[in-house]
Amino acid sequence: MSRPDLPALTIADLQSLLRRKEVSPREVIQSLRTWIENVEPKIDAYLSIDFDTAIREAEKVDVALSLGGVPIAIKDIINVKGQPCTCGSKILGNYRPPYDATVIQKLRAAGAIPFGKTNMDEFAMGSSTENSSVKVTRNPWDLSRVPGGSSGGSAAAVAADAAFGGLGTDTGGSIRQPASLSGVVGLKPSYGRVSRFGLVAFASSLDQVGPLTKTVRDSAMIMNAMAGHDPQDSTSLPDPVPDYTKNLGRDVKGIRLGTPKEYRIEGLDPEVKSAVNAAIKQLESLGAEIVDVTLPHTDYGIAVYYFLATAEASANLARFDGVRYGYRAKDPKDLLDHYGRTREEGFGAEVKRRIILGTYVLSSGYYDAYYVRAQKVRELIRQDFVKAFEKVDVIISPTSPVPAFKLGERTADPLAMYLADIFTNTGNLAGICGISVPCGLAKVKGSQLPIGLQILGKALDEARIFQVAHAYEQSTDWHKQRPKL
């Protein structure tokens, strides 16, 4: 039996129903399937869905587990055994991984059911989900606009109640920015807090897996399940994992919130500025202390990020050559022709652009001038945050400088697209944690478009940003606002 009320529930509320046996995991999958069939033609959030396997898993799942019976959507860059993993690219169009990523193993151990793979910018390179080689995902709040990227499929699915929660990846803002544009909660964990084993690498020193959810509590629940050390990931940290739900509900009295002067830029949309200022005042009314801080090397963030990220992408994507798996050019004349045509035909324009830029950055004669220098400035950016966190507990800013923009509006201007991550990519460069929570709705040409508040914390201080985000969320109604589809 399908219950139309189920897809709108949060993970916490759904878990409560499952444990009281008021609904079965099978009913949950069937209800979600019915709703997805209704909204998916409008938003195009999914690249593949395996309901048959999900129902079989639902029949035997233990609902007493922390996520027992909860279906989770997975960004199509994370390996789920037997399900396609295309990374939104033609070059991996027929690839099905023979193993689960560590985060999938951990979610399964907690009782979650990974049932579908969501659309994304090809190899996570983009800020709008328009770079997918398969299709374009639309924002549920306004179908003529982007959901953000590169985790736009997961963000749109959660916003449209087509997923109770989803996984994304964040290399320069690719969880937080679509969370902001789609009106959901998006967490980028600290670097090393969540295993990257089984994640197809874009930029290995920046990538992190994190949740996209309807509420802060749901985000904390997923993090409880998937955080922790993994010996299969050499960058995974051995530090103990706290219960991230423990501090939810605690007040923010005496917590120091830093507001960086460098984030008060001219290009900030007036309604975004107003909503974030109102959110800061709301937190102040809850007892938080507002402190001005400075992050003096912020202006170099975009340039440093695109030197380092493209360099790492150039190295990581060299493995896609059509020899062992993936797309292969037909009838090549020789090996060189095979390599050249396979990559030319298999990669999209944005991926090619970044591979070329990254190869140039790493080339002889330019390595010291660009790559090495960018690494030195990256350390200066990291030190900016270290010094700021000596004065404050968290840092507050907008997540995105603008609400969701129109489909096609920035595709011809890569620089304008890159600037969508101006408030988020320094967090990746510094390796710290950050969360985006809904804080307002902008009125733009007849549409109401979500605005996100970003809360940044020290490395491994996810518990603190969850506490602040939850206190703000529960004192407002923004997280309860849903798009009308």
CATH number for 229: 3.90.1300.10
Domain tally, the chain: 2
Is 80 exceeded by the pLDDT of residue 2? no
Query: Quick check: is 50 in a domain?
Result: yes
If asked whether residues 216 and 142 sit together in one domain, one would say yes
Domain boundary among 353, 377, 401: 377
If asked whether residues 145 and 197 sit together in one domain, one would say yes
If asked whether residues 370 and 236 sit together in one domain, one would say no
Rounded CA separation 59/203 (Å): 38
Work out the percent of the chain whose per-residue pLDDT is above 70.
Answer: 100
Domain boundary among 320, 352, 377: 377
Mean pLDDT, to the nearest integer, of 70-89?
Answer: 98
Identity at 15, one-letter amino acid code: Q
Rounded CA separation 272/278 (Å): 10
Mean pLDDT, to the nearest integer, of 86-111?
Answer: 97
If asked whether residues 142 and 31 sit together in one domain, one would say yes
Residue 81 falls in the annotated catalytic set: no
Query: Quick check: is 401 in a domain?
Result: yes
Residue 174 falls in the annotated catalytic set: yes
Q: Which residue has the tokens 């350390």?
A: 379
Q: What is the pLDDT of residues 239-290, one digit of tens each?
A: 999 999 999 999 999 999 999 999 988 889 999 999 999 999 999 999 999 9
If asked whether residues 73 and 215 sit together in one domain, one would say yes
Q: What is the pLDDT of residue 267?
A: 84
Q: What is the pLDDT of residues 402-419, one digit of tens each?
A: 999 999 999 988 888 988
Six-digit token string for 32: 């979600």
If asked whether residues 373 and 401 sit together in one domain, one would say no
Q: What is the pLDDT of residue 414?
A: 85
Is 90 exceeded by the pLDDT of residue 384? yes
Work out the percent of the chain whose per-residue pLDDT is above 90.
Answer: 95
- Write out the DSSP string of 161-172: TS-SEEEEEESS
Rounded CA separation 364/393 (Å): 43
Mean pLDDT, to the nearest integer, of 313-329?
Answer: 94
Q: What is the pLDDT of residues 121-162, one digit of tens each?
A: 999 999 999 999 999 999 999 999 999 999 999 999 999 999
CA 131 vs CA 124, 125, 152, 347, 358: distances in Å: 9, 7, 11, 10, 18
Strand intervals (E) in 176-288: 185-188, 208-213, 256-260
Residue 2 falls in the annotated catalytic set: no
If asked whether residues 65 and 156 sit together in one domain, one would say yes
If asked whether residues 363 and 408 sit together in one domain, one would say no
Is 70 exceeded by the pLDDT of residue 15? yes
Rounded CA separation 438/435 (Å): 10
Domain boundary among 313, 346, 377: 377
Is 80 exceeded by the pLDDT of residue 1? no
**H/E element, 176:** helix 176-182
Query: Quick check: is 175 in a domain?
Result: yes
Q: What is the pLDDT of residue 256?
A: 98
If asked whether residues 330 and 420 sit together in one domain, one would say no
Six-digit token string for 178: 């679509």
Six-digit token string for 444: 């733009």
The H-assigned helical ranges of 208-327 are 216-226, 270-285, 301-316
Q: Determine the Cα angle at 211 with ends 122 and 257, to 5°.
A: 115
Tally of CB atoms within 10 A around 178: 40
Query: Quick check: is 276 in a domain?
Result: no
Query: Quick check: is 165 in a domain?
Result: yes
Q: Which of 150, 151, 219, 400 is catalytic?
A: 150
Query: Quick check: is 272 in a domain?
Result: no
Rounded CA separation 7/30 (Å): 10
- Average pLDDT of the chain is 97
Domain that holds residue 440: 6-257+391-480
If asked whether residues 56 and 175 sit together in one domain, one would say yes
Q: Which of 151, 174, 219, 397 is catalytic?
A: 174
Q: Which of 75, 188, 214, 458 is catalytic?
A: 75
Query: Quick check: is 52 in a domain?
Result: yes
Q: What is the pLDDT of residue 189?
A: 98
Cβ–Cβ < 8 Å for 168, 189: no
If asked whether residues 184 and 212 sit together in one domain, one would say yes
**H/E element, 474:** helix 462-474
Residues 6+ apart with CB under 8 A from 241: 193, 224, 227, 228
Please choose, from the candidates 365, 369, 371, 233, the residue with its C-alpha nearest in 3D space to the C-alpha of residue 314. Answer: 371
Rounded CA separation 196/87 (Å): 15
Cβ–Cβ < 8 Å for 110, 91: no
Rounded CA separation 144/164 (Å): 24
Strand order through the sheet with 208-213? 46-49, 113-118, 71-75, 165-170, 208-213, 185-188, 433-444, 447-457, 394-398, 256-260, 289-293
Rounded CA separation 312/127 (Å): 18
Q: What is the DSSP letter of 11?
A: H
Mean pLDDT, to the nearest integer, of 203-230?
Answer: 98
Residues 6+ apart with CB under 8 A from 369: none
Cβ–Cβ < 8 Å for 124, 80: no
Rounded CA separation 241/243 (Å): 7
If asked whether residues 251 and 171 sit together in one domain, one would say yes
- Count the alpha carbons within 13 Å of 111 in the hemisphere toward its beta carbon: 19
- Count the alpha carbons within 13 Å of 261 in the hemisphere toward its beta carbon: 5
Query: Quick check: is 449 in a domain?
Result: yes
